[in-house]
Amino acid sequence: MGRNKDLLNDLFENGGIDLARGNLFDSPPQPMASNLDFDRVEGMMLGLAIGDALGNTTEGQLPQQRKAEHSEIREYLPNRYAGYRPVGLPSDDTQLAFWTLEQMIEDRGFDPERVAERFCRQPIFGIGSAVRQFVETTRSGSRPWTQCGVKSAGNGALMRIAPMLIPHLRSASADLWVDTALSAMMTHNDSASTAACLSFVSLLWTLMQMDTPPTAGWWLETYVRVARDLEVDDTYRPRGGDWTGYHGTLWRYVEERVSEADRKGLSVLEACSSWYSGAYLLETMPCVLYILMRHGHDAEEAIVRAVNDTRDNDTIAAIVGAAVGALYGKSGLPQRWLANLAGRTSGGDDGKIFTLLAEARALWG
């Protein structure tokens, strides 16, 4: 939408967005093949929902505590919101991602004000502090949506950003980056967060065009190449782990930590424990990239490691799930996980996510 581009340009000119106007915004993505299989898109979105559902029943537990209670989690655990049946239910990760898709289907594209309103319409499961502040400010009507986003490097924007590429599959214009930036800053108007979202969408776009898994180094190199040109804030500090003396950008911290863990051949558990593995992007982003570096060749194992070896496991697994889903498609995800996924976006709308994906296919497939 042309008005989205004009809005973003105005935000850049007036300092309304915490981001550099990097070269990405003048570089349209490589066009998708005309025979792109929408199975890849479904895989991306269902991988997100699966990772979220596998992780959210033990979210926040230390990996050692989780293992002591559940051994290794490879299936959905009994869920009290489903009569303690072992089915996959959503948290805010799945809700916000599919609400974004739902609103874009209704509007035939991304209207940020309408998506902002959609986020405020229903209760959000496990809502994070930044999104809660966004919702409260938006509902108050005291500011326009462009001024309701919080300066937060939490992972609450990254976890829901995957669907932004869907309306652009056939157009492949730089408007993809415009819409992604506006969507990200809606709730988290933060340099590290918005740069991470743009980097991840760029990564997903490329994964959908790959016939074979990338090399281990590709994941980190691809992320850093985009993010380093967009971040403007160099004041981030770790809140835990072994490198609390760091002070700088997110992209450099990720590059240093992930590269070092790779050189040492650390397991996912060892690496993610060393930099902590919570909802702060200095924790989430290195976890995601290291898991994909070590296990991106195996969709199931990548998601399982995210679920078992990290603390904010539902969101890390949702992001990892989106990536491997984009690479392998719906057909490359374990059938048992798909079969037992309730497909909700709210309290009782079973199957809703599958309906939305069918509608998206009809529009943009």
Q: How many CB atoms lie within 10 A of CB 201?
A: 26
Q: What is the DSSP letter of 58?
A: G
Question: In which residue are the tokens 């760091």 written?
Answer: 246
Q: How many CB atoms lie within 10 A of CB 2?
A: 8
Instruction: Decide if 209 contacts 44 (C-beta within 8 A).
Output: no
The Cα angle at residue 160 between residues 260 and 102, in degrees rounded to 5: 160
Please name the residue ranges forming H helices in 208-298: 216-227, 250-264, 268-274, 281-295
The pLDDT, as a whole number, for residue 61 is: 97
The encoded tokens of residue 100 equal 């974004």
Assign 280 to helix, strand or coil: strand
The pLDDT, as a whole number, for residue 1 is: 58
pLDDT in tens, 215-224: 999 999 999 9
Those residues whose C-beta lies under 8 Å from the C-beta of residue 191, and which sit 6 or more positions away, are 18, 19, 20, 230, 231, 232, 233, 250
Q: Check residues 2 and 316 and name the one with the higher pLDDT.
A: 316
Closest CA to 289 of 323, 337, 312: 323
Closest CA to 341 of 52, 70, 123, 44: 52
Residue 278 Cα distances to 59, 119, 356, angstroms: 10, 23, 30
Those residues whose C-beta lies under 8 Å from the C-beta of residue 198, and which sit 6 or more positions away, are 24, 177, 180, 181, 184, 226, 227, 230
Q: What is the DSSP letter of 146?
A: G
Q: How many CB atoms lie within 10 A of CB 7?
A: 18
Instruction: Decide if 286 contacts 240 (C-beta within 8 A).
Output: no
Strand partners, 150: 188
The pLDDT, as a whole number, for residue 348 is: 86
pLDDT at 227 over 90: yes
Instruction: Decide if 303 contacts 328 (C-beta within 8 A).
Output: no
The pLDDT, as a whole number, for residue 62 is: 96
Q: Of all residues in the chain, what percent carry a pLDDT higher than 90?
A: 97
Q: What is the DSSP letter of 191?
A: H
CA distance 18 to 280: 17
- Domains, the chain, ordered by start: 31-364 (1.10.4080.10)
pLDDT in tens, 287-320: 999 999 999 999 999 999 999 999 999 999 999 9
pLDDT at 347 over 90: no
pLDDT at 253 over 70: yes
Instruction: Decide if 308 contacts 63 (C-beta within 8 A).
Output: yes
The pLDDT, as a whole number, for residue 355 is: 98
pLDDT in tens, 52-89: 999 999 999 999 999 999 999 999 999 998 999 999 99
Total-model pTM: 0.98
Those residues whose C-beta lies under 8 Å from the C-beta of residue 135, and which sit 6 or more positions away, are 119, 120, 124, 127
| First-to-last C-alpha distance (Å) of the chain | 19
CA distance 130 to 132: 5
pLDDT at 240 over 70: yes
